[in-house]
Amino acid sequence: MNNVYSMISLACKAGKIVTGEDAVRNAVRAGKVKLLILSGDASENTEKRFRNAAAFYHVECKVWGTKEQLGLCVGKSERSVVAITDQGFGDALRIRIDKNVDQKENPGGESFE
């Protein structure tokens, strides 16, 4: 499970993420997002809004961790949503999240497109 957070942190240090709901929504609309990560404890409204945006703009979306954990790994306050803007980081995270969900390390984790 830690390798997912480590990868998100590495993407952050490389400048390949966008955080914050408004900034992420704008990046999705601009076609810059390769993978969208929602926290498992995001509100229903936030989850629905980003699920719909991801489906409309054909961006894969994964549910992972908590707002607190996502915020900590990017060095910010709590974050409900993190957007990965690099295809390489997106692919690597997709594999790690799927692997950890399969191993039941993220009980609330799921994915959707």
- Domain range annotation of the chain: 2-112
pLDDT of residue 44: 94
Tell me whether residue 97 is exposed, middle or buried, using C-beta atoms within 10 angstroms of its C-beta: 0 to 12, 13 to 18, 19 or more.
buried
SS3 at position 104 = coil
pLDDT of residue 111: 45
pLDDT along the chain (113 residues), means of 10: 86 95 95 96 94 96 93 92 96 91 52 44
Fold that domain 2-112 belongs to in CATH = 60s Ribosomal Protein L30; Chain: A; (3.30.1330)
